[in-house]
Amino acid sequence: MKHSVSELVLDNGAKGLLIHVPTANVMTFEINFRAGEYLVDEKKWEVPHIMEHVLLGANERIPRARDFQAEIEKNGAYSNASTSVYDINYEAECADFEWERVLDLMIVAITKPLFLREEFKAEFGNVWEELNARSNNHFRHLSLALRGAYGFLAKTDQERLKLMKNVKLKDVVEHYKYTHGTNNMRFVIAGNITPGRAEAIRTMLEAVELPKGRRFALPNERPIALKQPLYIHNSSVKNIYFYVDTFAKRRLDIEESDALHLANTLLTETLHSRILGKARERGLVYGMSSGVHEAKLASSWWFGAQVSPKNAPELFDIMTGELTGVFNGSLGDEEIEAAQAYALGRYQRGAQTVGGTASGYSERYFFDEVIEDYYQIPKRIGAVTKSGILDVARAMFADNVWGMGALTRVEEAKVLDLQARVAPLWQIGDQPVLVPLEAVERPLAQIKA
């Protein structure tokens, strides 16, 4: 959608983006605080999550959670909140005609919560059910377990359920007071933000009744290599759920990031891609994913799928072969141009709504306050070169920081064999060097599901 962006810096320390979409008939609000699990004692891990559940409930104006939700939703508006290791985000979307009413309600909820004991008990139960449901997601279980093994702050849902008993209402209230200050508040608001509306938004946010507090720095997490695969045994899982991760011990620059995302497209993002396309052509796997993630001090590239034990070796051989081909410059110009065309189309589809446009800015802005130049993305996609792809792909394997995890009931020897099939990728010289199975350390690290 056609739009313009301005940054609003307030006297109370809060700051954010106003995204003006002249044709919009809705408005969206995202309000962010650095208030995630990294700021609490490990034994109190679930405090931020439970706080987020309780906060959009009873408040000084509407002292009952159901009544507050009814007031928010009465004209079809939507509100929600989410918690991550680093952040809590509160969000809402509403019709254009009621934007001021809904924003005011969100501000009241965030600044004047009552934290009633009965609502704490109810949301404690709801969080318990949420985590129980999530614990059945094998990909999520494996991903969180691997994140912790690499040295990042993480808990599996199974671990979080055990820690919930340590959370009391006073912990929730204390965490709220510690984290919810105006200096720690960031926001992205999108819609038809005329000059008059922009000034009204400024006035409303300047009047937010919170202490100043401070903006918390992100933790300094540095990934560590796994000398052996992380093995999660689950007797009910016949297939192999796996992830393979590789890390560069630094953040990528913008050109490298663009090139790596295009490499990712070439390898797994379409049914004709190099890895997924070839595997589908041979009937080996229904789906496969990969992705790029940038943390404060590192960048990662991961590959994952669910595959039957009999097809897993061939799938891993395809992964190794196609990545080796990228390292050795086997990509053709037409192949790169096709990936660029796909990436451009995906970019254009991603901004069809006001919410989608806002999301294009919020993640990066909340992370490090960088304002993406959204209109430059097509030019950036077109500027990716074959040599850029080759260089960044090799760089992601050059630090030799990597690991693999599997959740399955198959015997450990088969997981070791899969690790051995991808291990050559981290032996980067003029040509990748094959590593025999005997060179892979044994035994595996084990976790019982």
Question: Can you tell me whether residue 372 is helix, strand or coil?
Answer: coil
Distance CA 40, CA 166 (A): 12
180 has a pLDDT exceeding 90: yes
Distance CA 405, CA 139 (A): 10
Average pLDDT, the chain: 93
Q: What percent of the chain has pLDDT over 70?
A: 95
User: What pLDDT is recorded for position 116?
Assistant: 97
User: What pLDDT is recorded for position 438?
Assistant: 31
Least confident piece of the model among 52-61, 89-98, 314-323, 430-439: 430-439
| Residue 183 binned pLDDT confidence (cut-offs 50, 70, 90) | very high
Q: What is the C-alpha R_g of the chain?
A: 24
Note the pLDDT tens digit of each residue in 30-71.
999 999 999 999 999 999 999 999 999 999 999 999 999 999
User: What pLDDT is recorded for position 446?
Assistant: 45
pTM of model > 0.75 = yes
What domains are there in the chain, each with its CATH number?
A: 4-206 (3.30.830.10), 230-448 (3.30.830.10)
Distance CA 373, CA 258 (A): 13
177 has a pLDDT exceeding 80: yes
User: What pLDDT is recorded for position 276?
Assistant: 97
> Directed axis angle between helix 274-281 and helix 254-268, to 10°?
10
Note the pLDDT tens digit of each residue in 375-420.
999 999 999 999 999 999 999 999 999 999 999 999 999 999 999 9
Question: Can you tell me whether residue 14 is helix, strand or coil?
Answer: coil
User: What pLDDT is recorded for position 307?
Assistant: 98
Distance CA 252, CA 191 (A): 32
Q: Backbone phi, then psi, for 204, in 5-degree steps?
A: -65, -40
- The type of residue at 179 is T
15 has a pLDDT exceeding 70: yes
Contacts 24+ apart (CB under 8 A), 151-158: 151/221, 151/222, 151/223, 151/224, 152/85, 152/221, 152/223, 152/295, 153/37, 153/38, 153/85, 153/219, 153/221, 154/85, 155/37, 155/45, 157/131, 157/132, 158/449
- For 119-146, b/e burial (b = at least 16 CB within 10 A) is bbeebbeebeeebeebbeebeebbbbbb
Distance CA 182, CA 11 (A): 10
Strands 15-20 and 185-191: parallel
172 has a pLDDT exceeding 60: yes
| Residue 209 binned pLDDT confidence (cut-offs 50, 70, 90) | very high
Helix (H) or strand (E) holding 32: strand 26-34
